């Protein structure tokens, strides 16, 4: 009987060690302190993506090149996602 108990505890220790490996990614919270409150960094990236997309839209509108873009319902959300990910890679990659 002690053999089964030892084998079970070794399995439990092994399972706990394997389960603890992904938990090491939770050590650093990806957040930014703003006036004492913490906001996730992806929130700032989305806001930056929207602002940059509006700037690009205004530039294209002024150059009268906005009609050269494809369907707006596809192009501009894709541009927001691309710019948000680019901002995240440039500023928040640890």
Residue 76 and residue 57 in contact, taking contact as beta carbons nearer than 8 Å: yes
Q: What angle do CA 39, 77, 46 make, to 5 degrees?
A: 10
Q: Give bridge partners of residue 33 from the DSSP assignment.
A: 38
Please report the pLDDT score of residue 65 as a whole number. Answer: 83
Residue 24 and residue 22: Cα distance in Å, rounded? 5
Residue 38 lies in a domain: yes
* CA 56 from centroid of its chain's CA atoms: 22
Within 13 A of 61's CA, how many CA atoms are on the CB side?
A: 7
Question: Could you give the number of structural domains in the chain?
Answer: 1
pLDDT, tens digit, 9 for 90 and up, residues 22-61? 766 656 666 666 676 667 777 888 999 999 999 999 998 9
Instruction: Output the six-digit token pair for 52.
Output: 């940059």
Query: What range defines the domain where residue 57 resides?
Result: 29-91
Please report the pLDDT score of residue 23 as a whole number. Answer: 67
pLDDT, tens digit, 9 for 90 and up, residues 8-33? 677 777 777 787 777 666 566 666 66
Residue 11 lies in a domain: no
């Amino acid at each position: 009987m002690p053999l089964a108990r030892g084998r079970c505890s070794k399995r439990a220790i092994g399972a706990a060690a394997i389960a603890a490996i992904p938990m090491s990614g939770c050590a650093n919270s990806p957040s930014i302190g703003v006036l004492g409150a913490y906001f996730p960094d992806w929130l700032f990236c989305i806001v930056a993506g929207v602002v940059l997309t509006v700037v690009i839209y205004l530039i294209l509108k002024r150059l009268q090149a906005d009609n050269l873009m494809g369907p707006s319902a596809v192009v501009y959300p894709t541009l927001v996602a691309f710019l948000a990910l680019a901002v995240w890679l440039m500023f928040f990659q640890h």
